[in-house]
Structure 1
Amino acid sequence: MRVEIWSDIACPWCYVGKARFEKALAAFPHRDRVEVVHRSFELDPGRAKDDVQPVLTMLSRKYGMSEAQAQAGEDNLGAQAAAEGLAYRTRGRDHGNTFDLHRLLHFAKEQGRQDELIQLLYRANFAEERSLFTEGDERIVELAAEAGLDADAARAVLADPERYADEVRADEREAAQLGATGVPFFVLDRAYGVSGAQPAEVFSQALTQAWGDRSPLTVIDQDDAQACGADGCAVPQH
């Protein structure tokens, strides 16, 4: 069975949702026969590569909230991440364009290191003090090498803006065709869709159903999903 996950490195719910899905997958009896593929979805595709802002500033300007409200949302997301055993910096993070990261993830997929790289990119963006967006390509190359990729090959991908660009855009078009308006968005064997960072129990149910059923795509709990989309990142108030 194949599970495709549309996500963005800038999406905190994608970070949390990956951990929740992996908890469900670890308990799934057929986990050794499940292939996981990460697909591209940019939350801010129009942002210039050199346009890097503090997360709180970005949230305040884009969604018309005060910095205090934005900080409260980050604190709440930090608590959600901690509940899944994830580190999350609620202060001092940056936000930037993720297109090059998605291109490199397609390269990593060809090398069989995609999951390793996406996990390191999430860690760098959400948990580490060093910015993922202000140190240039060499910071990303460093993470690629840590994921087991050849540093020179990764550097060459980043230096050529056309490498894997078509693959990123194709993923984004396919997400739209499947009805994904936010991420994370999980598609299980093209039989079931799970929208948002659902509890592990929901992922367990979807894995079980998709394993034994081949039906048209059914989206589970899309309306109440914890996800990031054009209107921002849904944050629980309690």
Structure 2
Amino acid sequence: MRVEIWSDIACPWCYVGKARFEKGLEAFAHRGDVEVVHRSFELDPNLAKGDVVPVLDMLAQKYGRTREQARAMEATVASNAQAEGLGYLVDGRDSGSTFDIHRVLHLAKARGLQSELLDLAYRANFAEEQSVFDDEVLVKLAVAAGLDEIETRAVLADPEAYADDVRADEREAAELGANSVPFFVFDRRYGVSGGQPAEVFTQALEQAWKGRGPLMTPAASPGAEGGSCDVDGNCA
């Protein structure tokens, strides 16, 4: 069985949702027969490379809040992350275009190292004071995941390398009706939107394994409401 996960490195609920999904998968009896594929989704595809600002400044401007109010918003997400055993920095993080990160993740997918790089990128972006929007940081993470440095630099130097793969993932998300992430599709039968509790993911895996029910839309997803970030970059 295949589980496809649309997500963005800039999305805090994708970070939390990945951890919850993995806990749900661990409780699934047939977990050894599940293939997990990560797909690209940009919360703000209009950002240009180099448009990098502190996260708190971005949130304050986007929501018309003070910096202290933006910090309180981040603290709420941080508490959810910490409940899953994840590190989360409220201060000291950047926000920017994730297009290059997705391109390198597709390179990693081609080399069988996608999951390794994704974990490192999430950790760097949310739990460490490393800007994943800096090419040198991204190269360092790629090499740590097992990718070749020269090949990674070549991809970053060519703006069209793996660009079609990223855009294809995003078109498919739109076709499936996904306008927020994380978005999980189970064997093209069952869809779950948001960073749901682990038991919701286990339930979805079990139902998809039985082959029952059509693909559900994000609005009709089962279980308790999970946090997500939409195409306008709004996270709730």
TMscore range, shorter length: over 0.9
Q: Partner amino acid for 2:40?
A: S
Q: 2:173 & 2:12 partners in 1: Cα distance?
A: 19
Confirm or deny: 8 A CA contact 2:103 2:166 kept in the other structure. yes
Confirm or deny: 8 A CA contact 1:183 1:228 kept in the other structure. yes
Q: 2:223 & 2:209 partners in 1: Cα distance?
A: 21
Question: CA separation of 1:109/1:18 partners in 2, compared to 1, >3 Å: closer, same or farther?
Answer: same
| TM-aligned CA deviation for residue 146 of structure 1 | 0.6
Residue 169 of structure 1: SS of its match in structure 2? helix
Residue 42 of structure 1: SS of its match in structure 2? coil
- Among all aligned residue pairs of Structure 1 and Structure 2, give the percentage whose two residues are the same amino acid: 66
**1:191 counterpart = 2:193:** no
| Count of residues paired in the alignment | 232
| TM-aligned CA deviation for residue 55 of structure 1 | 0.5
Matches within 5 A, 1:49-198: 49-133=49-133, 136-198=134-196
| TM-aligned CA deviation for residue 129 of structure 1 | 1.3
| TM-aligned CA deviation for residue 221 of structure 1 | 4.0
| TM-aligned CA deviation for residue 137 of structure 1 | 1.5
Residue 88 of structure 2: SS of its match in structure 1? coil
Confirm or deny: 8 A CA contact 1:194 1:222 kept in the other structure. no
Question: CA separation of 1:52/1:222 partners in 2, compared to 1, >3 Å: closer, same or farther?
Answer: farther
| TM-aligned CA deviation for residue 224 of structure 1 | 3.9
Q: 2:90 & 2:60 partners in 1: Cα distance?
A: 15
Q: 2:20 & 2:128 partners in 1: Cα distance?
A: 21
| TM-aligned CA deviation for residue 105 of structure 1 | 0.7
- Aligned position for 2:227: 226
| TM-aligned CA deviation for residue 138 of structure 1 | 1.9
Q: Partner amino acid for 1:162?
A: E
Q: 1:221 & 1:72 partners in 2: Cα distance?
A: 29
Unaligned 5+ runs, structure 2: none
Question: CA separation of 1:80/1:173 partners in 2, compared to 1, >3 Å: closer, same or farther?
Answer: same
Query: Which stretch has the larger CA shift, 10-19 or 61-70?
Result: 61-70
Q: 2:59 & 2:80 partners in 1: Cα distance?
A: 19
Q: 1:75 & 1:170 partners in 2: Cα distance?
A: 34
Unaligned 5+ runs, structure 1: none
Q: 1:222 & 1:73 partners in 2: Cα distance?
A: 24
| TM-aligned CA deviation for residue 214 of structure 1 | 4.8
* TM-score, normalised relative to structure 2: 0.95
Residue 125 of structure 1: SS of its match in structure 2? helix
Give a deviation string over 1:33-85, Cα, whole Å, max 9, x none.
10000000000111111111110111111222222221111111111000000
Q: Partner amino acid for 1:183?
A: V
Q: Partner amino acid for 1:137?
A: D
Residue 132 of structure 2: SS of its match in structure 1? coil
Q: Partner amino acid for 1:145?
A: V
